[in-house]
Structure 1
């Protein structure tokens, strides 16, 4: 983990350049951020452009550092082009899930690469489920699949209780994008890692059931 391929450098550079532009140009930020009302009026570009804007430097750094950590797993297993496919699909699905869940909240706005980055993170976990992750607040290594399941279950909790100023739904939508796209690109995983696919799909099933039974709101 943590190597920098050219495609990763380009994506990080795009996020940095566009975010810095947004920090210093309010009208630019407002024009391209995710906003329910504007998207429903036809400004679909915001579903994509908002993924390259960030609130501040710490928001930008956290997303890009997470991308830096997990990107090379996906690049090495799927290749540069498929890495971009996973990134973009995750970005768009993160936005679409937010759009669906907040469709009646016309003032709802968001920015950040979190959906795309979470998609890459979940794709990396699917491809290397037994790799160990070290968390600052936990002194022992955590299997990647345990972290992935826990993270999405926490995202569901965050969506239900609207915890903090965080787009938990975009994170979840991005994870679904990374999960599904990786399975499409690497169908052999159904033969080699079927149990892990089942485990990692648990939070997605939980979200679906909660939504259908009205327990998400």
Structure 2
């Protein structure tokens, strides 16, 4: 069984458990105030395996399933066993943790601020994929008229997450999306520096349509 599928199944199980147990939800959710004052650092990880509702869960896991398997296969193809799987696991789990650090710093004195979801880890995996396949067309919501090269969507995603995070737009942790994506790029470059030349070579063939 792939690590992608294992993470996906654990996330579904954890989310279902939290939805049916309010005490468990409160214990696992990312509350920066509790982390700071009660040293509950485990919340950095547990919050990445629970979700707000069914739509939130389905969206994150759908994206993770689509791209996680591909990135995992790339890593296991590049690195000898078991390091490919280990590095893929670190990419995803560390993406969840690192993406929440800015949120922790920003909200650690706000007792009622909470965040949850795998978005940081999913963004890390997605942007790792885009480094390997920058010109592969991605279709928003599967709509053929909204298909553009991944690198273009990456730029839009980063800009939107940055400005939305600054404005505090909606009930979404845009900072987790932004920093998860940035972490995915940096991590991939650090563990596989050759990706830089591979990326540049592919970008020579860039066209918008």
How far apart are residue 171 of structure 1 and its match?
A: 0.9
Deviations 1:20-57 (A, max 9, x none): 00000000000110001101020000011100011111
Deviations 1:111-163 (A, max 9, x none): 10111111111111111111110123671421001101111110012111211
Q: Which runs of 5+ in 1 are unaligned?
A: 198-217
Question: After alignment, is 170-179 or 147-156 more displaced?
Answer: 170-179
Contact 2:67 2:125 in 1 (8 A): yes
Residue 56 (str. 1) matches residue 56 (str. 2): no
RMSD: 1.8
Aligned-partner SS, 1:165: coil
Residue 7 (str. 1) matches residue 3 (str. 2): yes
Contact 2:134 2:199 in 1 (8 A): no
Structure 1 runs (4+) deviating above 6 angstroms are none
Residue 132 (str. 1) matches residue 137 (str. 2): yes
For 1:114 and 1:129, how far apart are their aligned partners in 2? 20
**Paired residue for 2:152?**
146
Q: Which runs of 5+ in 2 are unaligned?
A: 77-84, 204-209
Q: TM-score, normalization: structure 1? A: 0.83
**Paired residue for 1:172?**
178
Residue 74 (str. 1) matches residue 71 (str. 2): yes
**Paired residue for 1:106?**
111
For 1:122 and 1:84, how far apart are their aligned partners in 2? 15
Aligned-partner SS, 2:139: strand
Q: TM-score, normalization: structure 2? A: 0.86
User: Residues 194, 97 of structure 1: CA spacing in aligned structure 2 closer, same or farther, 3 A cutoff?
Assistant: farther
How far apart are residue 78 of structure 1 and its match?
A: 1.1
**Paired residue for 2:120?**
115
